[in-house]
Structure 1
């Protein structure tokens, strides 16, 4: 009996002290507190309601039950009313360019990404490499996404592209990689306009030896597996991955190298000989090698369909400056000059290419969600087109979660940023998207940004609308005073 009384007394003492301990728990100061949030875990494919998200500086410091809101004293609190919070979107393939006269218009694209919930972009090279590197290190505006960039890309001698590093020998490639390392680029971009297949493979191997990620257009004169086994990190554009499914890929590559067919004819041959079993075997090997694919399907589909679609009423036209829009003309004119056979070929290649997306998913290949948005690529509007890309993935058979993974989880991981990005969790960067609907059920929900958190700063619905109006007004003013140059 005495033992029981002692135990009871101890229990009562502990209970009496509990409120005192709770009262003594220090209130934590935070800059931003989101309450009544439904947190989206893209990687797990789950949602958790009735949560709070506490932000200090540019970091998430806590995510937990809404009932713990009293533990925080916030400079700003936003009740989300059960809206959904997910990591901000990443566009894993964009371009800035068009020459020095368009530097300002390119800078003005930055808030266009942000109002669409895109908090980071991977610049896959253009002709403003140093400017983009400068923007990466010192954003031109507070409303700019994070930039990861390749700097100038590696090419052959006298290519069609401007602003590249021309290489005609192994020594040239070594010097190019030295230069890119000195620039602290985030990855190396290699393209195939005039670069020889031997130097292409050499560049991939040497970059891998230096611990540098590589991203490339794979020359039609070599096979996909040759590039992947050399150490290529990511294949840009799905049609390059499509050719891996050709049962005659090596022979077609040899014919192209010998000059027997044009590039367009070669791509048609790859599509004509596409074989499902061959593709499955090669894609399984890509997964083993860790080679990712950035499909940029919306961009290639838009270009393939230039003969079918009327873009005169596109919403995006009001948000892109006239100088950048003038760069669209090159591809528009090429498409208009195509013969009926060339038009048929590009549609056929587009359709065969689209079939490979779920096959890559089934093989476990990492898909990096990117758009190819920017200069040159007609009617591919920065920010807006990422939603089109996501929706196209779902239309072709991916789940909303799988489509989003390539943007918000695997995108950061590819760039060695997985520790800081990809989840709504303590210790992660406070780059967030607030939505009215569940994006895991309907990926088009990403279009309805109710708010964006960028580097810890809340941009609410009213501010997003102000930014939209400001961009439209600025573009309208540019349109009124724009005089096309002879080159455009």
Structure 2
């Protein structure tokens, strides 16, 4: 009898010790959305220590933790923080502060991670990345390519220009010394053969490679070389013609150029050929970031020139000036050119379900930031997700593109779900985003680095940026 009492008291003691386990934050009750399956589990408590989730459990079991802060979740919907997997900082050192103001804009819109796909202020971006990681700067986690690789006399600022194998390896050495998170290669002036060599060399070094694709190369050539992701749908749309190799040869020989390339694709696109190319792409593990947003803005610029967008109060005047190049270009189009650019945009975007069907990993990214006209950091990702749904993905698939596929591309296993051992990047929504993708905008709170930012705090972030731009 005494032995039984001792065992009972020992168990009570164990419970008492467990009840004192210290944590930083408990949010309860919430409805937890599993973005992998679409399952919603009601009446849950999320337990956070530092920047990691300790447990997702019932409110009753959460009582074993001693929380520095306990927050009423109000039975809201909880999901992992969003990723914008393609954006750009840039515009030169004089615009560094305006670029830095992107960080609160992202957090205020539930975006807790961003992937910077190269520009011309890499030193600043790398510094911000490290400061966010060590907690001295508030903002989303940043993954960056540093300066991208290009050929000689590229139109882009801040590139590392290469023309030989020796220069290629010097460039990769430089990027590795910077500790970049991936390599970006674009197609303005780089020689196609050197492009393929660059992809293979970066892959041999264990680097992740994203890029634009020279039209003189086929999708199969770049995926076979080891390209990790294609940025923008136009480069995979081309792979849907019946004989992409023949088209690429004609482009390389200068027989087809400029807008005639899109006209050729438009008249020769074949669904069966596209599916075959995209299945090969999926088999090779090459992902795609469609970046539907900027194309939509420019294609339909005649209907909305965005000059009166309320969101412009959050964008610095210097960055707004970088929009002018693209705006001037589309303003030159006559009625026939306007109709044509809309047709191209709609046809390109319509391949999204084919890529999904083929098993290609689709990632959500906006192309927002410097240069890309009225494509806004923050709110832009919600527009991107809505466009993904408009063009054929389900709301769940669109969310997977942001929350699951984006970290998987960078081999980051501690993201993508609300579960023990995952990053405590949490988005609380007042409505179900699986029912309506626009509900991702109904943000009640964001958790980042173990700290909960409620609606008031998020609005303060927005107001701070607005005030800075008004000066």
TM-score, structure 2 as length reference: 0.95
Query: Aligned partners of 1:35 and 1:394: how far apart in 2?
Result: 31
Q: Give the unaligned 5+ runs of structure 1.
A: 1-5, 478-488
Q: CA deviation at 1:281?
A: 0.5
2:443 alignment partner in structure 1: 449
SS in 2 for 1:260: coil
2:428 alignment partner in structure 1: 434
1:89 alignment partner in structure 2: 82
How far does the alpha carbon of each residue in 1:330-375 deviate from its partner, in whole angstroms, 9 at most, with x for none? Answer: 0000111234443333222211111100100011100011000001
SS in 2 for 1:152: coil
Please list, as runs of the form range in 1=range in 2, the aligned pairs for 1:148-297 lying within 5 A after superposition: 148-297=143-292
How far does the alpha carbon of each residue in 1:151-177 deviate from its partner, in whole angstroms, 9 at most, with x for none? Answer: 110000001001001011121111111
Query: Aligned partners of 2:396 and 2:29: how far apart in 1?
Result: 23
1:65 alignment partner in structure 2: 58
SS in 2 for 1:82: strand
Q: CA deviation at 1:20?
A: 6.2
Q: CA deviation at 1:62?
A: 1.3
Question: Measured at CA, do residues 10 and 282 of structure 1 come closer, stay the same or move farther in structure 2, by a change above 3 Å?
Answer: same
Q: CA deviation at 1:132?
A: 1.2
1:364 alignment partner in structure 2: 359
Deviating beyond 4 angstroms after TM superposition, the runs of 4 or more aligned structure 1 residues are 9-21
Query: Aligned partners of 1:232 and 1:16: how far apart in 2?
Result: 61
Q: CA deviation at 1:249?
A: 2.2
2:455 alignment partner in structure 1: 461
Q: CA deviation at 1:57?
A: 1.0
Query: Aligned partners of 1:37 and 1:393: how far apart in 2?
Result: 27
Give the alignment partner of residue 474 of structure 1, picking from 435, 448, 468: 468
- Residue 33 (structure 1) aligned with residue 26 (structure 2): yes
Query: Aligned partners of 1:62 and 1:365: how far apart in 2?
Result: 32
Query: Aligned partners of 2:214 and 2:117: how far apart in 1?
Result: 17
More moved, 249-258 vs 80-89: 249-258
Q: Give the unaligned 5+ runs of structure 2.
A: none
Q: CA deviation at 1:11?
A: 8.7
Q: CA deviation at 1:426?
A: 1.0
2:345 alignment partner in structure 1: 350
Q: CA deviation at 1:183?
A: 1.2
Q: CA deviation at 1:312?
A: 2.5
Q: CA deviation at 1:271?
A: 2.3
Q: CA RMSD in A?
A: 1.9
- Residue 396 (structure 1) aligned with residue 396 (structure 2): no
How far does the alpha carbon of each residue in 1:112-148 deviate from its partner, in whole angstroms, 9 at most, with x for none? Answer: 0110011111111111122211211124963311110
Q: CA deviation at 1:89?
A: 0.5
Q: CA deviation at 1:36?
A: 0.6
Verify the 8 A CA contact 1:42 1:440 in the aligned structure 2: no
SS in 2 for 1:81: strand
- Residue 136 (structure 1) aligned with residue 133 (structure 2): no
